[in-house]
Chain A
């Protein structure tokens, strides 16, 4: 006689959300650089931006900082970034 298993994990309810449309090109775009204040994150971002800038001319590079790395970024900060930029790079989860 079969035995019943009781799953202790529960379901994960996640409604699918679409990603942003991809960029067609990078030249002339405004780049947001978001530093979550973890150690060496800012240095890494600077190095990445410098490396990318060798190949791409961004119209602007705007730098932002999270208040603390342990919690999600404040909605107001994200809205401000979205209103003033076309691309974003964020670091670091380590």
Chain B
């Protein structure tokens, strides 16, 4: 039996140098892992500052990133964080998200290659949002906030570099979506009428956490007419009850972002988080006839539908199997009666929730600090 020999693609300590007339910004932009946008040129000092923010020990391997399984040492992670334009103080959030994504239950290996429209959506809870200046309010998913923009971008760069998820090579997404540039937000805990998401999941308010769900782009839910829970949520139900989304054909979880005005109106009627999720779960879905195209293409048994669903033409199939599969957040600006439905990727993955650094995972379904939900 031949001895197993360690074979690395590059030995550590091998440094690459180029002539001084090379435009470094253009050099990095030309690399196969580029996301198409300019990067910050790394220097020893910038990288060292991020390594320090991660706790030192540059050779410490945080995780391996599928499908290429590149070893994400703190040094390598720091390089990606600098390239993305993220500050050292953002580094713990980026790390927590990537370690959560490397959890087998999130199935990053398949997500990177998937033809589906899906990108990891990262939602941050807890005091770290404020200490690093994240945006949880107006223009939540849009540009203008360095923390949101560059944390999400650093995560995507790691997926491209260490993970090897380069379009056309290993990333086979048919269409992709703009969230693949950056997709990171914070919950608006200050203006939410309810406890924050992470507290609902068993964390303390003073803990900071990252929640990661492979997700489609947000679907807008507009309702400027209703002033009661059922009216507002019926618009959300309408958005959720589509045969075209990933959950309709492949099951799995979704996220619901209630805008601040909508959330406050719903809470004013005494409805709580669990009430909202129960209403959405029991009303949002499609008939089996719709999902099976009324057998126009032959009689098909869809394995993604829960085994307990009836399969008569008029049988109601909920868009998610359980109310717990609706991950509910309150976020966005104070003005405007808009919310968002964010379908997941299917039952190929379980969303994960992970504390950032010192917070303790308390829920039962947590392994090595990452909790599958």
Direct contact of A and B (CB under 8 A): yes
Q: Which residues of A contact B (CB under 8 A)?
A: 1-18, 37, 68, 70-71
Taking CB atoms, residues of chain A closer than 8 Å to B107 are 70-71
Taking A5-B16, A7-B76, A16-B7 as known contacts, 11 extra A-B pairs with beta carbons closer than 8 A to each other, sorted by chain A number, are A2-B18, A3-B19, A5-B18, A5-B27, A7-B16, A10-B70, A13-B8, A14-B69, A16-B2, A70-B349, A71-B104
Q: Which residues of A contact B69 (CB under 8 A)?
A: 12-14
The answer to whether A5 touches B17, judged by C-beta atoms less than 8 angstroms apart, is yes
CB distance from B111 to the nearest CB of A (A): 9
> Could you say which residues of chain A place their CB within 8 Å of the CB of B91?
none
* Residues 3-34 (chain B) with a chain A CB within 8 angstroms: 4-12, 15-20, 22, 24, 27, 33
In the complex, A17→B42 CA distance in Å? 36
**Residue contact B76 to A10, C-beta cutoff 8 Å:** yes
Q: In the complex, which residues of chain A have a beta carbon less than 8 angstroms from the beta carbon of B76? A: 7-10
Q: Show the binding face of B for A, using Cβ within 8 Å.
A: 1-2, 4-12, 15-20, 22, 24, 27, 33, 42, 44, 47, 65, 68-73, 76, 79-80, 82-83, 104, 107, 110, 157-158, 161-162, 164, 303, 348-349
Establish whether residues A8 and B80, one from each chain, have CB atoms under 8 Å apart when the complex forms: yes
Chain B residues with CB below 8 A from A13, complex form: 6, 8, 69, 71
A5 CB contacts on chain B under 8 angstroms: 15-18, 24, 27
**CB proximity of B43 to chain A, nearest CB, Å:** 8
The A interface, classified by DSSP as helix, strand, loop or mixed, is loop
Residues of A within 8 A of B9 (CB): 11-12
B17/A12 in contact, CB under 8 A: no
A17 to B9, CA, bound (A): 16
Contact assessment for A10 and B162 in the assembled complex, using a CB-CB cutoff below 8 Å: yes
Residues of A within 8 A of B19 (CB): 2-3
State the Cβ distance, A39 to closest chain B Cβ, in Å.
Answer: 10
Closest to A11 in B: B8
Chain B residue with Cβ nearest A15: B4
Within the complex, the shortest CB–CB distance from B260 to chain A, in Å, comes to 36
In the complex formed, the residue of B with least CB distance to A1 is B20
| Distance between A25 CB and nearest chain B CB, rounded to angstroms | 24
B contact residues around A10 at 8 Å (CB): 65, 70-73, 76, 161-162
Q: Contact at B18–A12, with CB atoms within 8 Å?
A: no
Residues of A within 8 A of B73 (CB): 10
Contact assessment for A3 and B20 in the assembled complex, using a CB-CB cutoff below 8 Å: yes
Contact B11 A11 (CB under 8 A): yes
The CA-CA distance from A71 to B105 in the complex, in Å, is: 10
B21 to chain A, nearest CB (A): 9
Known: A4-B15, A4-B17, A70-B348. A17 touches B4 (CB 8 A): yes
| Cross-interface CB contact of B1 among A9, A11, A12, A18, cutoff 8 Å | A18
